[in-house]
Structures are given as C-alpha cells and as structure tokens.
C-alpha cells in the first residue's frame, strides 16, 4: 500500500481482507508480480490514471500470475486451481487479487509464474506501439530506444518477427549484447557512441518508425530522424522522471517546458505522424487485450518471442526492486514473488 506520494519508504506491506469475487470476476492467489517503471511513477504521485481511477491509498501493479482460488458467478470454464496470468489496472502488488475474468488468461505450458508475470504489460505495450499505431511492415527500419529494457527488448523481437530492421539504442555497454541477441540488426551504445550520427548511419533516408519512451531527452531528434510517412510513437517519458527517493520539482517543470510541441501544419507538410498512448487507459478494451494476448501466445509457441531476462525479489523487498529499476542499469524485467 502507498498512502501518499514519495520515496521508497512509502511502500508499506499491510494485511487486508480478501475480497470475494463478484459476478464475472475471479480471485487469484498471486505468486509473481511484474514490476514496471510506471509503478515508480505511481509511487511518486505523478501517474495520471492512478489519480483518476484510484487516488490514495493505492496498491501499484499491472500484471500478475498464480492460480485461481475463487470463482464468481458467470465465469464458465474456470476452476479453482487453474494456473493463470492476468492484467489489472493497479492492485497487483498483493498475494490475492480479484479481477474481471476478461483480464485473466491461462498460463501456457512450460512457463513459470515469474516468467508469465514478466510478459503481459511489456508485450501489450510493444504490440500496440509497433502494430496498432506504428503499422510496422516488413522491410521498415525501426529505431527502438531502451532496447534492452522490458518493452524495448520485446519491440526488438516483434520487429524482427514482422520482417523489419530493428536498430536498438541502449544506455550502457553491458546492454549491447542483450539487445543484439534478441535480434537487433545493429545496436547503438549512446554511452560511448554519438547517438544521432550512428542513427543516421544506419538509416540515411530516415526511419519508418521510432519507438520512444525517453521524453524530452530524445523526442525532438527522434522526430527529425523520421523518413517521409514515418511515425513517432511515444509511450513514456522516462528521462523526465526523477530517480532516487526525492522528486526534483523544478527539474521536472523545466523538462516539461522543454518538451517539444508538434505543429499539425508541419506534420502535414512533412508527411510525418506523432502518436502516443498509455496502456492503463486501455484496460476497458477487452477486444484489444484478447488480440494482443493471442499474438503473445502465438509468438511464444512459435519461438519468435523469448521471455525476457528476469530478476526476482521477495515482495517485502519491493523498495529494492524500485531502486534498482530507477538506476537504469537493469536488463530485462524485474519480478516480485508473493
């Protein structure tokens, strides 16, 4: 539970009463919980949908895996003990979660709860960015920022699966091989190489698609490196968000003021598009969830998607998980075990 915005000390373990599932709901005995950077933003009180849908106090968490421990009316086909994974609009950092049955999916054979909990949010984000908004096609050159992180590593794999040419960007040298192993045609290490000179070298005529969750640090140049008819898809603002326990409000305000504004007139003259989304506003779209998860299961089955590297933490060490994630040095996905 988080009772107010702040640092790692705001994350408090508390006992709560298990809620019985209503009609069309299932209760899951949670074994594993995916940790996302959005959870850190929720903790700081900077996540808009958290304020709109929940307020304080709030339990973070968008994805879990475990087994069903109670079945509500109308949930035909589900039984107590079924192994599942699920997505949820907050509430996932818990040992027992009641969630609409439409947001619950059967755990694929051979996948552990920790592996399953690491997949839904990063995959759905990557799929929506690449296919629903980015309209990626075979042969497209795609620039992917944070290519060794959870969403970025999934974007690399999906782009390769589609026949695109994924060019990955990483922020540290120890992440280069991870991005390359996932299928990046080239990897730019911006800690040692000039990012935009290298980006131009790999796509002299510009990129069909750029996937950017950095925010002000790269948005302007990402747009400028689009080819005609290119698409810039924005799904986060990580470099604007504070790291460590304290929120630096003046720095945050300055970055907000520096964030580029895109003119509709210029977009039409240059034949470029800028699109953005936040997965937490799509949880009511069961059709999108089903479509995305169907592709996730297909990609796992045909071997074109690898489960990201996973680092596990006990639930009581959630503060350490947040600290490590905010350090920018992790590779793959962090998971809490309840």
- 272-309 per-position pLDDT tens digit: 999 999 999 998 899 999 999 999 999 999 999 988 88
Please state the domain count of the chain.
Answer: 2
With respect to residue 294, please indicate whether it lies within any of the assigned structural domains. Answer: no
Do 131 and 187 fall within a single domain? yes
- Final residue belonging to a domain, choices 261, 280, 299: 280
Structural domain ending residue among the three candidates 243, 263, 280: 280
Of residues 246 and 323, the one with the higher pLDDT is 323
**Pair 104, 77 in one domain:** yes
76 and 130, same domain (yes or no): no
pLDDT tens digits for 71-101?
Answer: 999 999 999 999 999 999 999 999 999 999 9
Q: Please give the average per-residue pLDDT across 246-257, as a whole number.
A: 82
pLDDT value for 242: 67
pLDDT of residue 245: 61
Residues 67, 22 share a domain: yes
Question: Any idea what the CATH number is for the domain that residue 234 is in?
Answer: 3.40.50.720
By DSSP bridging, strand 141-144 and strand 207-212 are parallel
Is the pTM value of this prediction over 0.95? no
Asked if the structure places residue 301 within a domain, the reply is no
Among 293, 277, 301, smallest CA distance to 65 is for: 293
Q: Are 129 and 102 within one domain?
A: no
300 inside domain: no
Residues 233 and 245 in one domain: yes
**Looking at the domain assignment, is residue 1 inside a domain?**
no
Q: Give the CA count within 13 Å in the CB-facing half-sphere of 81.
A: 0
Sign of CA dihedral 70, 73, 78, 84: negative
Separation of alpha carbons 311 and 188, rounded Å = 24
Mean pLDDT of 53-74: 98
DSSP 137-161: -TT-EEEESSTTSHHHHHHHHHHHH
User: Smallest Cα–Cα separation from 290: which of 86, 55, 80?
Assistant: 86
Instruction: Report yes or no on 295 lying in a domain.
Output: no
Regarding whether 239 and 166 lie in a shared domain, the answer is yes
- Whether residues 161 and 264 fall in one domain: yes
* Residues 89 and 166 placed together within one structural domain of the fold: no
pLDDT for the residue numbered 123: 96
Residues 133 and 202 in one domain: yes
What is the domain extent for residue 62? 8-119+307-337
* 285 within domain boundaries: no
Does residue 30 lie in a domain region? yes
Co-location of 160 and 40 in the same domain: no
319: CATH: 3.90.180.10
Question: Are 126 and 113 members of one domain?
Answer: no
């Amino acid at each position: 539970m988080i009772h107010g915005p702040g640092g790692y000390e705001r994350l408090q373990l508390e006992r709560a009463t298990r809620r019985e599932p209503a009609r069309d709901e299932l209760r899951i005995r949670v074994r594993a919980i995916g940790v996302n950077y959005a959870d850190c933003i929720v903790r700081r009180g900077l996540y808009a949908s958290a304020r709109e849908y929940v307020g304080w106090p709030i339990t973070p968490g968008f994805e879990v895996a475990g087994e069903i421990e109670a079945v509500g009316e109308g949930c035909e086909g589900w039984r107590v003990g079924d192994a599942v994974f699920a997505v949820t609009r907050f509430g996932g950092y818990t040992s027992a979660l009641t969630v609409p049955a439409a947001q619950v999916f059967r755990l694929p054979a051979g996948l552990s709860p920790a592996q399953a909990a690491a997949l839904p949010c990063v995959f759905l984000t990557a799929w929506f960015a690449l296919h629903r908004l980015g309209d990626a096609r075979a042969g497209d050159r795609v620039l992917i920022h944070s290519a060794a992180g959870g969403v970025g590593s999934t974007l690399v794999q999906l782009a390769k699966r589609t026949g695109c040419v994924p060019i990955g960007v990483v922020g540290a040298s120890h992440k280069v091989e991870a991005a390359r192993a996932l299928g990046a045609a080239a990897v730019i290490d911006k800690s040692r190489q000039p990012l935009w000179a290298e980006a131009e070298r790999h796509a002299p005529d510009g990129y069909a698609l750029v996937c950017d969750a950095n925010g002000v640090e790269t948005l302007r140049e990402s747009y400028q490196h689009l080819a005609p008819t290119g698409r810039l898809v924005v799904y986060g603002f990580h470099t604007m968000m504070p790291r460590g326990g304290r929120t630096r409000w003046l720095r945050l305000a300055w970055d907000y003021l520096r964030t580029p504004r895109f003119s509709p007139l210029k977009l039409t003259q240059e034949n470029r598009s800028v699109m953005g989304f936040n997965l937490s506003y799509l949880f009511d779209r069961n059709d999108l969830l089903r479509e995305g998860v169907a592709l996730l299961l297909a990609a796992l089955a045909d071997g074109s998607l690898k489960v990201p590297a996973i680092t596990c933490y006990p639930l009581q060490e959630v503060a350490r998980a947040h600290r490590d994630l905010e350090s920018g040095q992790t590779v793959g996905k962090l998971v809490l075990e309840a």
